[in-house]
Amino acid sequence: MLNERYLKDERTLIGEIWQSGEIYENMLIMADEIGSRFPGTASEKQAQEYMVEKLKEYGYENARAVPFNYYGWKRGPVTLEMTEPVQREFTAISLAMSPGGIVEAGVIDLGTGSPEEFEAVDPEDVKGKIVICSSATSPTGKRVHRRTKYGYAVKYGAVGFIFMNHNPGQLAPTGSLRPSYKMGGEIPGIGVSLETGLLMLRLAKGKPMKIKFTDKSQVIPDSESANIVAELPGETDEWIVVGGHYDGHDISQGAMDNLSGTTVTMELARVLKPYEGKFKRGIRFICFGCEEIGVTGSTCYVADHLDQMKNTAIMVNLELGGLSFKDGMKHAAFTVYQPPEMKEWIAGFLEEVNYPTSIRTGMSAASDHWPFVMQGVPAIYMHEEPSMRQLVQGRGWGHTTADLMDKVDPRNLQEGAMLMARVLLRLATQEKKIADHTPLKKIVKHLEKTGMSKTLEIQLKWHPDSPR
């Protein structure tokens, strides 16, 4: 698969990554010194400046911040009180894109908040109530995104939303409620820990529960953020896009999710810089902003660069939160989004480099590959090897105050970077076309057949004819 002239270069790339501590050093600075990089915060701006400066240090004079507008959000304090059948105060935090407000109403427990659990009740039983549900896997064994659960609560007429972590540790979860590239949330939403949620349900003792909560968060229209872009030109006008998001949630460092993917992207840019102009295809490295509030940075990038999509040979997404985790499987794996023949390409690559791992096919709208997929661009995702831990724990430490640098193993990230450098070397140099773009009609038909279009409608993310 790899032209013999590049075999020596491959060994050089592997050695450069393995012998360098650059990934971890960049992570320490951006996590411990700069902070969460959440949209609209001072740390976001600091991170943008740091990444551009660092990429210029690596030789990318074209490194730049590409701005975009979105619905911003500012976290406010939350108070939570049970008023019936007993009085008790609890600790909670706001969910990102919650519009804030004061809510006082009865509570309906909808288990894991899966579509099946919503559809099993009369909407009139939800109307005017506060929905409480957990982040656990659904009764049918599926992981349902928080935005889907919130979407059903809104559709059924709920006036408030309480999202309970299913993992122990007194960790209240956060996460976005609506896509910030087009809107904020309609009803206030807050997160509580597993222990808090279960205590509330126990205290009710099966009797009707009434809750009052105040959320002082704010949606801020017409905010501005930026994607960080650096380009390694090739011999043709074809481009490979590789990257992941740099923002984390404002309650932690977002070290795993997804500072890990950001610093691996920067590392790939660093080690591949000497090959500028030598590959058939160019490589566009993008660190996306605002992913945590509805996959916003990549959506806005695609919307503002539609003319470049036809020359985008493939999008490689690096959501490396799992791969960075010390207690994970510690090996990289792949998911192919489209087209299916990319699975054969990856299988051939893995056999060639003698790296045994899994390759899945599937579709997800919850990360930065999604807007590229909807433009027909071939897309793959490198992540952690699947395990039972993922099914049971879900995000684990992610989206909580525990997503800190102590969870990260730099060796895992080096391994991932080495493997991805070898992937990019082959994608950038192979003579034949990487893969065909997928027609929109075919994508829509697949999403309708699998029921994913219905999920996207609930999330208010179904707009196949327009990126935003």
Q: Are residues 368 and 319 located together in one domain of the fold?
A: yes
Domain holding 146, by residue range, is 76-216
pLDDT bucket at 139, cuts 50 / 70 / 90: very high
468 inside domain:
no
Q: Are residues 66 and 109 located together in one domain of the fold?
A: no
Q: Are residues 278 and 404 located together in one domain of the fold?
A: yes
pLDDT (0 to 100) of residue 388: 63
Q: Are residues 320 and 207 located together in one domain of the fold?
A: no
Q: Is there a cis peptide before residue 188, judged by omega within 30 degrees of 0? A: no
Q: Are residues 284 and 428 located together in one domain of the fold?
A: yes
Which of 164-173, 263-272, 385-394 is predicted with the least confidence, judged by mean pLDDT?
385-394
- Count of H helices and E strands in the chain? 15, 16
Q: Are residues 316 and 443 located together in one domain of the fold?
A: yes
- What's the pLDDT tens digit per position in 440-462? 999 999 999 999 999 999 999 99
Domain count within the chain: 2
- Cα 33 from chain centre: 23
Separation between Cα atoms, residue 146 and residue 158, nearest integer Å: 15
pLDDT (0 to 100) of residue 265: 98
- What's the pLDDT tens digit per position in 306-342? 999 999 999 999 998 878 887 766 789 999 999 999 9
pLDDT bucket at 272, cuts 50 / 70 / 90: very high
Cα–Cα nearest to 292, from 39, 12, 77:
39
Separation between Cα atoms, residue 435 and residue 379, nearest integer Å: 10
Last residue within a domain, chosen from 195, 216, 237? 216
Last residue within a domain, chosen from 216, 249, 274? 216
**Higher confidence at residue 269 or residue 388?**
269
Cα–Cα nearest to 84, from 204, 213, 206, 205:
204
Indicate which CATH number applies to the domain containing 127.
3.50.30.30
Indicate which CATH number applies to the domain containing 246.
3.40.630.10
Q: Are residues 300 and 430 located together in one domain of the fold?
A: yes
- What's the pLDDT tens digit per position in 200-246? 999 999 999 999 999 999 999 999 999 999 999 999 999 999 999 99
420 inside domain:
yes
Cα–Cα nearest to 168, from 124, 212, 199:
199
Percent of the chain with pLDDT over 70: 98
- What's the pLDDT tens digit per position in 164-205? 999 999 999 999 999 999 999 999 999 999 999 999 999 999
The arithmetic mean of pLDDT across residues 138-160, rounded, is 96
Q: Are residues 442 and 346 located together in one domain of the fold?
A: yes
Angle at 175 between CA 170 and CA 176, to 5 degrees: 155
Q: Are residues 230 and 330 located together in one domain of the fold?
A: yes
190 inside domain:
yes
Last residue within a domain, chosen from 160, 184, 216? 216
**167-195 residues labelled b (16+ CB within 10 A) or e (exposed):** beeebbbbbbbbbbbbbbbbbbbbbbbbb
pLDDT surpassing 70 at residue 389:
no
Separation between Cα atoms, residue 29 and residue 49, nearest integer Å: 13
**Higher confidence at residue 378 or residue 390?**
378
Q: Are residues 341 and 433 located together in one domain of the fold?
A: yes
